[in-house]
Each structure stands twice: as structure tokens, then as C-alpha cells.
Amino acid sequence: MILSERIKDTKASITLKVNEKINVLIQQGKHVYNMTSGQLPFKPSSEFVSALGKQLNFLKSYQYSPIAGMSGLRVKFLNYYEEKRNLKFSDCTQEFDCVISNGSKHSIYNLLGVLINPGDEVILLTPYWVSYPEMIKFWGGTPVVVKSHAFDAYTPYIEEIEKAISPKTKAIIVNSPNNPAGIHYSEEWMKSFGTFLKNYPDLLVISDEIYSELSYFDPEPSYFYQFDKSLLAQTVIINGISKSFAATGLRVGYCIADARITKAMAKIQSQTTSGPNSLVQRALLDFNFSDLDNYFDPVKAQLRDCAQMIRAAFREANLPHCYYQTTSAFYYLLDFSRMPIYEKFKDDKNSDCSKEIVEDILEKTGVALVPGSAFGYPNSARMSMTLDSAPFKEAINKLVTYVAQK
Ligand code: PMP
């Protein structure tokens, strides 16, 4: 066979597969409530769209960017972080820098490439974003999974994380707000996590903060390093414009870390993708980030409504114990194992039947979800809260009626 072992072992993104199925159903004339989306159905702010337009007539917008991204924009992201998180990178013992890539997925991929030696372990907290384990394996590392549960609002215990540490542990990925759970870890959790990290100064934390601007119930997300700034020494921050600017297609992500790490990531870019998109970087340089301050207000109001609709539907179906409170991002993770419908699918071996349930839901109700097995959480499915209110309510009612069946 001509393909490498490495690619043979890599799974294709589950959302791509689900979308193929949805398209077939739509072509057959079936009505589908598509709740699989990984993006909001909104255009970026008009100020940002006009900032893009202003760069169209410059030659430099169409030419190679510096490999690590435009220096002014790298500084702008660093300043933005200092302001948002109330910290100063210059107070840290080591030098910090920012490297810009083609989306934060690309940042994470490059980051893992500069960190992982074959056999190194990277700890993941369930439910986790689908791409983490595949990227870790692609670079020769081993994902080590720490479980959480729906009844703890998908927040893992620090003691369980501690049990997962081994001499081979290189890093841990913390994704708060979380895709697919739609929650962010509490301040109390972040403080305990910080206390735990003090005992493991060689452990790197990859803090994936891509949804940090999208929290719709207070308190807002906070991060362990804000409570003890010395922990920045073992922190790598990932963020980007996909979610915070509602611009998934413009492909700009960034990583803030020890300059030795960002330089090494730029080295990968120099031999692979080169620097990121010049036009978008120039628009970002020219754009006042604080113009986004109120941009999400209507979006957050809609997400709050959706969360309340879910809660009402579970209550009406007499299943309040199946509901948990989401607070951020735009996802909800259904844990089928706590719902009556699970009895129909359950087998003696306790196998994961996420895929079977999701297929049955699609067939019987027209609601399309992403099976939760890909997020490391068996017997579950991710639902995106990205439909308009009326179809969202319809879909939720159909879904809850379905899961309430014995
Ligand atoms: N991290 C998480 C948790 C995500 O959900 C996503 C996108 N779905 C990314 C990173 C990557 O985002 P992008 O490459 O669009 O910046």
C-alpha cells in the first residue's frame, strides 16, 4: 500500500462524515435540523468587515507575510492578553512571544510538533475536542485520558488528573470554555488546578482559550495563571479569531508561549506553510479590538435562551436530572446513559452506542447531532445551539421526546 502507517492510523474528522450523511438526506428531500455546526451563523462585525475592505488595494496584502506573523500583530495579541487577563509577560522569568498561524488548529499542531518526542504522553480531559488525540498521535505521542461526568457538569477531579501523571507526561491540554460540553471550569477549579501544578513544574499546560469570549452566564472564564502569575512559566496559550471574531474561514490563530517554543513553531512554518494570510493580518493590525466589546451581546442573549429552552424541555418531559447548566461556547453534550432511551441500546458489555443512537435520532426526528465517542465520552452526542429560536425549539422538543422513551 502506498500510504504511510501514520496516515492510516489517523481518523478523519467525525463532523465531515456526519455532514456527508446530512447532505444525502437533504438531497432526498428530508427536513433536517442540523445541530452539528462548529460555527455561529453570523457575519463578523461590520467594523471588522470594513477593516478587511480597506486593505484590498495594497500590494502588501497579497504578498508573503513574515513567517511567524506580522510583528505588530504579534505584539497586539500579547498586549490584548495582558489587558484581558490582567498580567504582564515582562514580569515572567523567561521571555514570552507570540506566533501566528493559519488558524488555532494549525497552532496546536505545530505546538505539539515542537514538544512531543515519540512515546511522550499528553493528558486530555474528557470530553475533549476531537482533533487533540489525532494530532498527538500524528507526532508520535500518546494521549492519556482523564474522565469527567455529566453530573459534575463535565468538570474532572484534580485528583484524577494527578493519577494520570507519569514520568513520560509532557503536557496537559485544558480547554475552557469546552468544546463539546459548553461549560468553563470554575474559578475554584482553576485555583486548585494551579495548586496542583506547583508540584509539577516540568508539566506544560496548553490552555486552549478559543471560546473565551463566548461565555453567556457569569462568572466569566478565569485561568489558573491569573491567580498565580508564576505559573505562566509552564503555560502555553492558544487562541484565534475563528470564534471571537466569528471568522472561522479567515484562518488566523495564535500561540503565546516561551519564546523558545514560538521560535521552534515558526521553524516548522518556515518549512511548511510559510506565514499566515497577509490580508487578514493587515486588517487585524488596523482594527480596534475593543470594537468587538458589545458584538456578542445579541449572540449571548440567544445562547441563554437556547440553554433555557433545553432546561424547560427536560423539565416538561420529567427528566430534570438529565439537564446540566451550560455557560459558554455554543454546545450542549447529551449523556444518553442517564436517559430512558438508553435502555433500548444498552448491551451486557456496556459498549458505546453513541453512533447507533445518533443515527436513530436522525432517522426518527430529523435532528442531526455529532456522536460523542469522538470526544472521548461514550453514549453521548454533541448538539450545537446555532439554529434560530423557532427551529431550535422544535428540534429540542423532538429530541427530548425521543430520549424520554423507554
Ligand atoms: N480548539 C477548539 C476547542 C476548537 O473547538 C476549535 C475549532 N472547532 C479549534 C481549537 C480550532 O479553531 P481554528 O483552527 O478555527 O482556529
Non-local CB neighbours of 395 within 8 Å, separated by 6+ positions: 33, 35, 365, 366, 367, 387
Quick check: CB of 131 below 6 Å from ligand 1?
no
Ligand 1 pocket member 103 (CB < 6 A): yes
CA 116 to ligand 1 centroid distance, Å: 20
Span 58-292 CATH architecture: 3-Layer(aba) Sandwich (3.40)
CA distance 144 to 166: 10
Judged by average pLDDT, the poorest of 1-10, 33-42, 104-113 is 1-10
Helix/strand/coil for 370: strand
Q: Which of 174, 243, 331, 333 to mutate to test the pocket of ligand 1 (most atoms within 8 A of CB)?
A: 243
180 lines ligand 1 (CB under 6 A): no
Q: Which CATH class is domain 5-43+295-403?
A: alpha beta
More confident residue, 115 or 292: 115
Residue 211: pLDDT above 80? yes
The domain limits of the chain are 5-43+295-403, 58-292
Tens-place pLDDT, residues 263-277:
999 999 999 999 999
The three three-digit cell numbers of residue 328, written as one number: 459558554
Q: Which atom of ligand 1 is nearest to the CA of 253?
A: 16
pLDDT over 90 at 404, yes or no: yes
Residue with cell 497552532: 107
> Is 188's pLDDT higher than 90?
yes
Tell me, using a 6 A CB cutoff, whether residue 38 lines ligand 1.
yes
pLDDT of residue 257: 98
CA atoms of 324 and 318, how far apart (whole Å): 14
* CA–centroid distance, residue 210 to ligand 1 (Å): 6
pLDDT of residue 349: 82
Whole-number Å distance, alpha carbon 38 to ligand 1 midpoint, is 9
